[in-house]
Each structure stands twice: as structure tokens, then as C-alpha cells.
Amino acid sequence: GCRPGPGELATEKEAEESHRQDSVNLLTFILLLTLTILTIWLFKHRRVRFLHETGLAMIYGLLVGVILRYGIPATSYHNKTPPSCSLKEGPVSTLLLNVSGKFYEYTLKGEINSREIHNVEQNDMLRKVTFDPEVFFNILLPPIIFHAGYSLKKRHFFRNLGSIITYAFLGTAISCFVIGNLMYGVVKLMQVAGQLTDKFYYTDCLFFGAIISATDPVTVLAIFNELHADGDLYALLFGESVMNDAVAIVLSSSIVAYQPSGANTHMFDASAFFKSVGIFLGIFSGSFVMGAATGVVTFTKLHCFPLLETALFFLMSWSTFLLAEACGFTGVVAVLFCGITQAHYTYNNLSEESTKRTKQLFEVLHFLAENFIFSYMGLALFTFQNHIFSPLFIFGAFIAIFIGRAFNIYPLSFLLNLGRRHKIKGNFQHMMMFAGLRGAMAFALAIRDTATYARQMMFTTTLLIVFFTVWVFGGGTTPMLSWLHIRVGVDPDQDQQPCGDNFQVLQGVRIAHRLSKTKQESAWLFRLWYTFDHNYLKPILTHSGPPLTSTLPSCCGPLANCLTSPQAYEVSVHMHLQNRTEMHTAKVHCSICSVHFTGFMFSLNTNKQTNKQISSPTSSLAW
């Protein structure tokens, strides 16, 4: 029972004030988003296409940033250096402060530049609207990336998988090295011109190359979607941008891990280089395996309870992220592959209600997170404290990303065309070149560490590149499409599942036909994979596809029996018997609920197997 002393009351009031300030800050962002949504709606309604919602969010962010920076009178700042105390040991995470016998606990926030000490309180207002950069990685990026994976248009994606992987891996690596080397030249030039006031190493340049190689053509893709542009081009662009985010994030952390031993730091060192390559491969494959594994393990059947199903789906995706982070892998990459795997396997096992719900849930999360990041970018231009605007570096970076993108697209397209049946035509290549916008991932990677001079310069430049590409290239998409004579208004039904499911039988035939067409169009490697996936993985992991007993050799009979879900049998029987009325009535009641984990099945109620499942076979044939 302590009535608080006067000191305590002051602290309590301060805490209350800080809580209120936090609320106001968050409210600012939310009102920004609200304003963005209302304007987007107006734009959509008027069919304005030159400015995408992300571009709009940036503009509003900029405006608020200007107001915060210049609109609030400076008198409210009390220019005061906070008290300091000295210790001989290195920084500890927890520090105790003894004020006349009372102890207060303090936690380490980070190192602070000696020139900033006097600004700590002065810039408090602007610092308050600054988020911990880890928020971007741990809260905002995961839903964006997961949604990208989960909403891949599968048929076109898998048909172009080889090309997408080539662009994403080889292309990003090329782009990273080209940009890195060009920027090293720019940095040398700046050194000569005396415009560089602090160190800027070769590894810093490579790091810049890595972060700026993550493309994010969200604006272009939105317009493609709206105009129903060519499906293959869409898949190439979307697939590349999704995958190169993953490559860029791992690449950048491998470059950070490149620490040559001995005296010649920041020089080329073969062992350190191979160590970095090893780290890249290790982190990437680790994250990939983890994401794919969790995507597959995800419960497969909790029908009847869509709420539980949706909640579980959400939790599993999130735990993939956390698991990867806990193991030292990259959560964002794991989440991407988790999304792709879930879209491919788990999606078929969800109830119809849950497929809708999960899609909508992640759609909303993705929408909010994306617009938040972009409006934060706008805000950061004026509220971030340590911008270093270097015209030479910025100009060089614009040239370098252009050249880097060209070295990525054109040579690789040439090589890919040697092997592709459907060539990537010249106008497609130009469009891909044009669509190299930068966005959320480049920003998040750049803001993650802004401690050194080089990183601060990179951050400023990245911000400007994002602004320019989103506004200019994003806005120029529609004219560019017509200028390059790219086909629009393609029948979107070719890509999507029909919503109704009354025409399943007819559809089944059509889709099976499409499958064989897709197979023909693909390279031999993917034909092999298709067959393996369709005959073995799908039957084991989902309740669709042919029963294993019919695809495995007869010697494996008992194993096949054990691994095949009872519904898969049902399905193959039903395929012959079903008619519309029967399906309709069968769909009304939902009596079987069994949990089906990878390869293990807990069948709890196997006496009555007629249920919704019968709608799966056709949809599983779809990719």
C-alpha cells in the first residue's frame, strides 16, 4: 500500500503521456491509411490507373512527414542532454539506476552517435513516429510475402517455373554484382571528388546491390490484373518478384556475413567468399525446407469448424516464420515457401468456407501491411534523422539499377529462349525491364541497419529509388502496355477455378485436358515433377488425386493402402458414379472429420465417408 511519492507520480504521468503520444502516432498512421483507402476507392471508381494505392500512400505519408517536420513549432522541444553515467565494462542489456535508495531498471536501446547526444530529446518528436525496423521484418513483411506465395496463379507459375527460377536466382545475383561494382566505381569517383566524408567499402556496395535488386512491381501487377494482361507475362513478373525478394534477403545477409579474416578486411578473400556462398545456400535451403515442410504438415481436415480451421491455418503460417527465425534461418523466405506449398497441397484439403476465409484474411492483412509500409516510406523521407543526400551517389544508383536490370533480363531471356518452347518475345522482355520497380523489401532491408555512414546514404538512395520507380514506372504501365503491343483482355477464366461447383464433371474433363496441355508445354524436368507430384505426393498429402494403390507398383500394396486417405478411394469411385443432384445433396451434410498429417492418418470416424471431399479431385488436377 504505497501512496506514490511525488517522484513516482511524475514517472506515472510521464508514462501516461508517452502512452498517449504512442496512441496519437499510431492514430496518425491509421488515419493515413483511411485517407488512402478513401482516395483509392475514388480512383477505382473513376478508373484512374496512373496512380496505384501504394503510390498514393507514399504521397500522403510525405505530406504528413512535411507537417511533422516543419509544421510543429520548435518551441515545444526542450533542448537538453539526458543525464549520463559511466561504467568501465562493456554495455550490458540491463542497467540499474539508484536514485536515493530506489532502484530503477533500464534496458539497452542501442549505441548512440556522439554527435547525436544533444539531439536525443530535441528530436524526440520525430523519433517517436519512427518504428523499430524489426517491425517491418517480423510483423509487416510476413503477411505480404505469405499472401504472394498463397495467391500465385499456379498453372502459369509452374509452366514458367524454370524461367522464374533463372531470373530470380541467376538474375538477382547478376544484378547484385553489376550494381555493386558500378556503385564501387561511383564511390571511387566520389572519393576523388572529395564528396565522401566517411568510409564506404566494396562490401557496402555489394550490400547495396543486394538490397536494391529486390523488385516489387506491385503497381504493374495490379494493372495487369485489372486489364487481364497476358498470363505468362504476369506469371514471369510476379514469380520473379516474389522469388527475388527471398534471394535478395538471403544474399544481403550472406554479404554481411562476409568477414575476411586477417588484416586485409574488405578485400577479396576466397575462403570468406565461399563461406558466404555456403551461408547463402544453407540459409536458403534451410528456410525453403522449413517452409515447405510446415506447409505440408498443416492439418488437413477440420471441416465443419471453419473458424478453427482458419485460426489453425493462420497460426501454422505464423509458426513457420517464428520457427525459421528461432533456428537462425530467414522467416520471410520460409513463409513464402510455406504459402506456395499450402496453396498447392493444403488448399485442396480445406473446406470450401475456409478456403474463402483464409484467402480473405490474408488479403486484408496483406493490403493493410503493404499500404502501411508505403505510407511509412513517405513519412520517413522527412522524419528520418540521418539522411545523407549525395547527388552523385543517387544519380549513379539510378544508372546502375537500370544497367543491372538490363544485364538480368536480356541475356537471361536469350539463354532461356534457347530452351523454351514458348519464347519470351522482345516486347515481353522490354516490359519486364520496365517493370523493375522497387518496393517494400528493398526499403525494409535498407532501414534494418542505418548505423554507419554508408548505410545511411544507401537508405536515402533506396527511398528515392522506390519513390521514383513506383510513381514514374508504375504510372507509365498502361501507356507502356499499349506501346509494346502487349495483349490485354485475356480470358481470366483460363487461370481461375470457376466459383460454382455444379459443373464439376464437365470441368473435370476440361481441366484434365488442360493439365496434359500444361505438361506438354513444360520442360522435361517439370514433366517429371508433375508426374511424381500427381501420382505420389498429392495422394499422400491431400485427399485428392488417384489412390496410391493405382499408382504404386503392386508390390507396395500394403504401404499404399495405409497411406491413401479413404476419401481418395471414395473420390475415384465417385468420379464414375456422380451426377449433379447427388453431389449437391452430398454436400449438404458434413459428417466426417479426421486429422490427416503428412503420411499419417488419424481416422476418427470412418464409417460415413460421403462428404464435401468429392469436390476436390477436379480442383487438384488444375495446376
Scan residues 69-88 and list those touching a copy of itself (CB under 8 A).
81-88
Which residues are registered as beta bridge partners of 118? none
**Binding to a copy of itself, residues 265-294 (CB under 8 A):** 265-266
**Per CB under 8 A, 18 contacts a copy of itself:** yes
Cβ atoms of residues 312 and 302 within 8 Å: yes
Beta carbon of residue 304, minimum distance to a copy of itself (angstroms, whole number): 8
Taking the CB of residue 182, how many other CB atoms lie within 10 A of it?
A: 20
**Per CB under 8 A, 48 contacts a copy of itself:** no
Taking the CB of residue 412, how many other CB atoms lie within 10 A of it?
A: 19
Cβ atoms of residues 498 and 507 within 8 Å: yes
Beta carbon of residue 30, minimum distance to a copy of itself (angstroms, whole number): 5
Closer CB to a copy of itself, residue 260 or residue 545? 260
**Binding to a copy of itself, residues 511-570 (CB under 8 A):** none
Q: Strands 600-602 and 94-99: what pairing?
A: unpaired
Judged by CB under 8 A, how many residues of this single chain contact a copy of itself?
A: 107
**Per CB under 8 A, 67 contacts a copy of itself:** no
Cell 492514430, located at residue:
27
| Rounded CA separation 185/205 (Å) | 9
**Binding to a copy of itself, residues 460-499 (CB under 8 A):** none
Q: Which three cell numbers stand for residue 63?
A: 505530406
Beta carbon of residue 548, minimum distance to a copy of itself (angstroms, whole number): 25
Task: Please give the C-alpha separations between residue 18 and each of 12, 21, 25, 124, in angstroms, as whole numbers.
Answer: 10, 5, 10, 11
**Binding to a copy of itself, residues 89-148 (CB under 8 A):** 89-114, 117, 120-121, 134
Beta carbon of residue 51, minimum distance to a copy of itself (angstroms, whole number): 15
Pick from 278, 328, 492, 599: which binds a copy of itself (CB under 8 A)? 328
Beta carbon of residue 99, minimum distance to a copy of itself (angstroms, whole number): 6
Cβ atoms of residues 439 and 54 within 8 Å: yes
Taking the CB of residue 569, how many other CB atoms lie within 10 A of it?
A: 16
Closer CB to a copy of itself, residue 415 or residue 451? 451
Query: What residue spans of 194-327 are helical by DSSP H?
Result: 202-212, 218-227, 231-257, 270-297, 306-326
Cell 520457427, located at residue:
323
Beta carbon of residue 186, minimum distance to a copy of itself (angstroms, whole number): 15
Site stretch for a copy of itself (CB under 8 A), options 35-43, 154-162, 219-227, 529-537: 35-43
Site stretch for a copy of itself (CB under 8 A), options 162-170, 452-460, 514-522, 528-536: 452-460
Binding mask of the shown chain, residues 365 to 394, with x at each position contacting a copy of itself by CB under 8 A: --xx--------------------------
Pick from 319, 386, 417, 551: which binds a copy of itself (CB under 8 A)? 319
**Residue in 495, 471, 574 with CA at minimum distance from that of residue 158:** 495
**Per CB under 8 A, 315 contacts a copy of itself:** yes
DSSP code for 494: G
Site stretch for a copy of itself (CB under 8 A), options 318-326, 437-445, 483-491, 497-505: 318-326
For 465-494, give the DSSP string: HHHHIIIIIHHTHHHHHHHTT------GGG
Query: What residue spans of 421-473 are helical by DSSP H?
Result: 426-434, 440-448, 453-468
Q: Which residues of 57-84 are buried (b: 16+ CB within 10 A; e: fewer)?
A: bbbbbbbbbeebeeeeeeeeeeeeeeee
Binding mask of the shown chain, residues 203 to 222, with x at each position contacting a copy of itself by CB under 8 A: -x------------------
| Rounded CA separation 379/371 (Å) | 12
Pick from 13, 31, 532, 584: which binds a copy of itself (CB under 8 A)? 31
**Binding to a copy of itself, residues 250-269 (CB under 8 A):** 259, 265-266
Closer CB to a copy of itself, residue 266 or residue 422? 266
Beta carbon of residue 316, minimum distance to a copy of itself (angstroms, whole number): 7
Beta carbon of residue 280, minimum distance to a copy of itself (angstroms, whole number): 18
Pick from 417, 452, 478, 572: which binds a copy of itself (CB under 8 A)? 452
**Residue in 419, 421, 447, 416 with CA at minimum distance from that of residue 432:** 416
Give the chain's end-to-end CA distance (angstroms, integer). 68
Amino acid identity, residue 34? T
Cβ atoms of residues 150 and 362 within 8 Å: yes
Chain centroid offset of residue 430 CA: 25
Three-state secondary structure call for residue 299: coil
DSSP code for 438: B
Pick from 72, 139, 267, 307: which binds a copy of itself (CB under 8 A)? 307
Q: Which three cell numbers stand for residue 551?
A: 499408382
Site stretch for a copy of itself (CB under 8 A), options 154-162, 287-295, 296-304, 333-341: 296-304
**Binding to a copy of itself, residues 570-609 (CB under 8 A):** 593, 595, 604-605
| Rounded CA separation 172/216 (Å) | 13
Beta carbon of residue 557, minimum distance to a copy of itself (angstroms, whole number): 31
Binding mask of the shown chain, residues 162 to 191, with x at each position contacting a copy of itself by CB under 8 A: ------------------------------
Beta carbon of residue 219, minimum distance to a copy of itself (angstroms, whole number): 17
Pick from 72, 326, 525, 559: which binds a copy of itself (CB under 8 A)? 326
Closer CB to a copy of itself, residue 240 or residue 370? 370
Beta carbon of residue 603, minimum distance to a copy of itself (angstroms, whole number): 12
Pick from 132, 198, 226, 582: which binds a copy of itself (CB under 8 A)? 198
Site stretch for a copy of itself (CB under 8 A), options 298-306, 383-391, 400-408, 481-489: 298-306
Q: Strands 595-597 and 94-99: what pairing?
A: unpaired
Closer CB to a copy of itself, residue 561 or residue 598? 598
Site stretch for a copy of itself (CB under 8 A), options 24-32, 234-242, 344-352, 427-435: 24-32
Closer CB to a copy of itself, residue 559 or residue 595? 595
For 541-605, give the DSSP string: HSS-SS-HHHHS-GGGHHHHHHHS-HHHHHHHHHHHH--HHHHHHHHH------EEETTEEE-S-
Binding mask of the shown chain, residues 338 to 367, with x at each position contacting a copy of itself by CB under 8 A: -------------------x--xx-xx--x
**Per CB under 8 A, 3 contacts a copy of itself:** yes
**Residue in 318, 326, 323 with CA at minimum distance from that of residue 362:** 318
Closer CB to a copy of itself, residue 110 or residue 500? 110
Pick from 312, 394, 433, 583: which binds a copy of itself (CB under 8 A)? 312
Three-state secondary structure call for residue 263: coil
